[in-house]
Amino acid sequence: MKNITRRAFLKIAGAASATGVLGYSAMARAAGTNKGSARVIVVGGGFGGATCARYLRRLDQGIAVTLIEPSVKFITCPFSNLVLGGLRTMDSITHGYNALKQIHGVNMIHDTVDRIDPVGKKLTLKGGKTLTYDSLVVSPGIDFNWDAIEGYSEKAAQVMPHAWKAGPQTVLLRNQLKAMKNGGKVIIVSPPNPFRCPPGPYERASMFAHYLKQHKPRSKIVILDAKDKFSKQALFQDGWEKLYPGMIEWVSGAKGGTTQRVDVKKMLVDADLVKHKADVVNLIPHQTAGKIAVKTGLVDKTGWCPVDPKTFESKLHAGIHVIGDSAIAGALPKSGFAASSEAKMCAAAIIALFNGETPPENSFVNTCYSLIAPRYGISVAGVYRNMEKGITEIEGAGGVSPREAPDSFREDEAKYTFGWYESIVADIWG
């Protein structure tokens, strides 16, 4: 990193997590400016939605905030790979909404949004209830394009799990690894861009390898990739060569890695050049914006939601803000940390608009850690601002872990990984 040390950057990122929005003085605003007058509904209780609900209340307690989320507990995709590697339990990545309700005054409704009426500013829940709003935030995460690979479907995912939405699929995949014979073959099918958590498939391969090295050391992992390069590629491959020599093979799209079809009964994955038979198949599907965003007409031809980078208001439906993985947010990746950062700026913008003010200049932070082994971590970090071309990464303010680093550096990054997770989940759900 050119202009900032990694330790200094982490302090900045931590401060951003604590205060909510970089450079925005609204945190000191007296509570109650909109008492009884403004109603905001947030759809989706993940990294984006839960953060937005919390910070709307934190920035202005006069706003009535309702968070709609089907699940009573949220299981994070970050650290679900560590469950697969045997480093964490499902309970440790499962978080409730009590603090949002009891401490921050967010009205929680555990139901699913069936339809949204952007003109009438109301939405209907599957339970039958209709709610009205002054401003709506939609943070539905991702959905899957089940038709992109022949032979794959939601039903097929019970045999070839994706585990890209943490929960029962994570447990299923973990159990398949445990049941696999020593000397078995695991295939990970990695999707084309854009998709949730760009380094995720490669951290997953690392966690698979960590588990297999201990319990089934003659096994092999093949990553069939639709892409020709991936996030933190050199760092991952250096780590694989050092820790798991010969165990992980990556096949790029240019070399036949694009999966065309699967045969679930025969456990076959048919790529461009070779048919691969496997004992365990982790197929991560092509992705689109969350279902309610698609149903409401918030997506364009890309399958994602175009937004105003200053406010995250939809470019297709006024009065609806879209944050997190579903949004087209310039250079920001589709990550939990980025979703949380977007949510804080969105909350600040909504409050400014309610008060007839110009939304503040926004800044965003993203930090993404990956574990290659329990004591071997790598990371990428960045600061982003809204420029003429949209949300743009600030050159020199961040960067990736250096390739030439001592073991002690990798150990520190692994420690930071665990610290990052505890900090962000406390900031959102704690």
Q: pLDDT tens, 126-179?
A: 999 999 999 999 999 999 999 999 999 999 999 999 999 999 999 999 999 999
Instruction: Look up residue 120 and give its two tokens.
Output: 């009438």
Domain identity same for 69 and 14: yes
| Domain final residue pick, 230, 258, 283 | 283
How far apart are the C-alpha atoms of 9 and 23, rounded to whole Å?
Answer: 15
Q: Is residue 238 one of the residues assigned to a domain? A: yes
Q: Is residue 14 one of the residues assigned to a domain? A: yes
Which pLDDT belongs to residue 273?
86
Q: Specify which residues 42 forms β-bridges with.
A: 67, 137
Taking CA atoms, 194 is separated from 152, 156, 331, in Å, by 19, 23, 11
Q: Is residue 202 one of the residues assigned to a domain? A: yes
Q: Is residue 160 one of the residues assigned to a domain? A: yes
Q: Is residue 341 one of the residues assigned to a domain? A: yes
Taking CA atoms, 374 is separated from 1, 245, 395, 413, 417, in Å, by 25, 17, 31, 10, 10
Handedness of CA 275, 276, 279, 284 (dihedral sign): negative
Domain identity same for 155 and 260: yes
| Domain final residue pick, 283, 316, 350 | 283
Domain identity same for 407 and 294: yes
Domain identity same for 105 and 155: no
Domain identity same for 306 and 420: yes
Domain identity same for 41 and 161: no
Domain identity same for 152 and 202: yes
Which pLDDT belongs to residue 11?
46
Domain count for the chain: 2
Q: Is residue 1 one of the residues assigned to a domain? A: no
What range does the domain containing 127 cover?
6-143+287-429
Domain identity same for 302 and 198: no
Domain identity same for 244 and 294: no
How far apart are the C-alpha atoms of 143 and 159, rounded to whole Å?
Answer: 19
CATH number at residue 12: 3.50.50.60
User: With a cut of 70, which residues of the chain have pLDDT below it?
Assistant: 1-36
Give the closest residue to 139 by CA, choosing from 334, 301, 285, 339.
339
Domain identity same for 310 and 410: yes
Q: Is residue 376 one of the residues assigned to a domain? A: yes
Q: Specify which residues 287 forms β-bridges with.
A: 144
Domain identity same for 51 and 159: no
Which pLDDT belongs to residue 36?
52
Instruction: Look up residue 332 and give its two tokens.
Output: 């920001």
How far apart are the C-alpha atoms of 200 and 304, rounded to whole Å?
Answer: 20
Q: Is residue 120 one of the residues assigned to a domain? A: yes
Which pLDDT belongs to residue 14?
46
| Domain final residue pick, 259, 283, 307 | 283
Domain identity same for 279 and 297: no
Spatial contact of 298 and 320, defined as CB atoms under 8 Å apart: yes
